[in-house]
Amino acid sequence: MNKTIAAISTGQAPGGIGVIRVSGPEAFSICERVFRPKLGRKLSEMSGYTAALGEVWSGTKLDDCVALVFRGPKSYTGEDVVELSCHGGLYVTRQVLAEVLKCGAAPAGPGEFTKRAFFNGKLDLAQAESVMEIISAQGRNSMLAAQAAGSGMLSKRIVNISERLEGLAAHLAAWSDFPEEVDLIDIGEVAISLGICKEELSQLLKGFDQGKIFREGLRTVITGRPNVGKSTLMNLLAGRERSIVTPYPGTTRDVVEELVSLAGVPLMLADTAGLRHTEDPVECIGVESARRCLKNAELVLAVFDWSNELMEEDFKLIESIRELPVIAIVNKCDLEQRIDLDFIVSNFRYYVTISASRNIGFDSLELAFNKFIGAENFDAGQAELFTERQRAAALAAKSAVEQGREAIKQGLTLDAVTVCIEDALNALFQLTGRRVSDEIIDQVFERFCVGK
């Protein structure tokens, strides 16, 4: 913690601006050795939250640079921080970082800036985890949930539970030490209070399961016979949140996937969707791959043509996907109806009529999708648990609370109940980091990227 650390904070791809962040007791003096301000004012003499224009030098000029000064404790890490904003090329930023390291800074490990913020009391462990969650969020809902956690709402929910338990524990302890002086405990009330804790923990755990869909998305396949409008639907889905549409290599060699978003949920669309504009997926990726793709899908978007009678191929498709998680999409509703809609309705629980090319009915697609994932009641603004670590801690707390209730039911001693409450508290303190081992802290920050 006494070392001054530095890293490139702007990622591993070239961009307009690259930021080298330096944090620690020597941040100002180290940066003064590499940064030459235009107006001659020294960084160490600048007040917090101010900027200076200048150049970064390493024998010769490396780059133009704006230096931002933050004075601890009013900084992200709680320490003195300088952020050097240069041109965002990989070579340039690496050269600047190398110079900063040469002048005495140590390279920052993954998440080390945030780790320091945690140790300096700027945020608790659940808030620290939300930082990475915001960075990796791929849709509106996962971002909102991560932000709610980052603002401390998740911690507040947990603290509410732990305060209730602490109150119980204190009362029980006082009673066992001074039975004459403390009011007799109404054991029924202890049981009720534990019941409330259990209910709140259950709510938190339920939120984890729903939030998972928003964070991790659904493996999705678009299928349907040629010409029903699969590609058009793809483009529509892709176009709505274009910024996150990135082609990426799929899990298997012969399947390419694309990331789009529907109602805030990332969908990993597989190649059978006609991404390669091959209209026969079976021919394109092989019977086995196509079958595997469908079988592994967490969502199948089956497209049919409103303006045509159902054909042999449609019937075959319906037969093969009947048991799968399907939303049937009847497309081209702008044209005259020829399809036997009743047949679709009788085969699929979720269905919508849309026109992909005219962009009609997208609302009902979102509605059907929300029903499909059971998210009609999901409130993304409500902070939920979002890491496996948090989930495990909450589960442990819940089971300890349940054991406490069980102990009361069986008429065990109050000491036995106290032990259960202590166990639950320990689990909750691990969640927020109030009482947590170095090992767990290391595990949390290992997941971070360097520079955050």
Binding flag, residue 329, ligand GDP (CB under 6 A): no
Is 247 known to sit in a ligand binding site?
yes
CA distance 154 to 143: 14
Provide, rounded to whole angstroms, the least separation between the CB of residue 279 and Zn ion.
6
Specify the residue, 49 or 315, whose C-beta has the smaller distance to ligand GDP. 315
Is 83 known to sit in a ligand binding site?
yes
CA distance 401 to 74: 39
**C-beta of residue 5 within 8 angstroms of C-beta of residue 22:** yes
In the set 147, 231, 357, 370, which binds Zn ion (CB under 5 A)? 231
Helix (H, G, I), strand (E, B) or coil at 301: strand
Contact stretch for Zn ion (CB under 5 A) within 82-90, 161-169, 228-236, 292-300? 228-236
Picking from 21, 22, 28, 24, the residue whose alpha carbon sits closest to that of residue 43 is 28
**C-beta of residue 350 within 8 angstroms of C-beta of residue 327:** yes
Specify the residue, 50 or 227, whose C-beta has the smaller distance to Zn ion. 227
Binding flag, residue 229, Zn ion (CB under 5 A): no
Nearest 5°: the CA angle 281, 288, 280 is 10
Picking from 353, 361, 343, 264, the residue whose alpha carbon sits closest to that of residue 303 is 353
Q: Across 133-228, where does the E strand assignment appear?
A: 218-223
Binding flag, residue 281, Zn ion (CB under 5 A): no
Binding flag, residue 272, ligand GDP (CB under 6 A): no
**C-beta of residue 83 within 8 angstroms of C-beta of residue 19:** yes
Provide, rounded to whole angstroms, the least separation between the CB of residue 287 and ligand GDP.
20
Provide, rounded to whole angstroms, the least separation between the CB of residue 231 and ligand GDP.
3
Q: x/- binding map, residues 362-401, to ligand GDP, per CB under 6 A? A: ----------------------------------------
Provide, rounded to whole angstroms, the least separation between the CB of residue 316 and ligand GDP.
16
**C-beta of residue 3 within 8 angstroms of C-beta of residue 107:** no
Specify the residue, 176 or 357, whose C-beta has the smaller distance to ligand GDP. 357
Choose among ligand GDP, Zn ion, none what residue 10 binds, the Cβ cut-off being 5 to 8 Å by kind. Answer: none
Is 229 known to sit in a ligand binding site?
yes
Q: What is the DSSP string of 73-114?
A: TSSSSSS-EEEEEEEE-HHHHHHHHHHHHHTTPEEP-BTHHH
Residues 206-265 that bind ligand GDP (CB under 6 A): 224, 226-232
Specify the residue, 228 or 326, whose C-beta has the smaller distance to ligand GDP. 228
Q: What is the DSSP string of 371-400?
A: HHHT-TT--TTS----SHHHHHHHHHHHHH
Instruction: Point out which residues bind Zn ion (CB under 5 A).
Output: 231, 274
Instruction: Point out which residues bind ligand GDP (CB under 6 A).
Output: 224, 226-232, 274, 279, 331-332, 334-335, 355-358
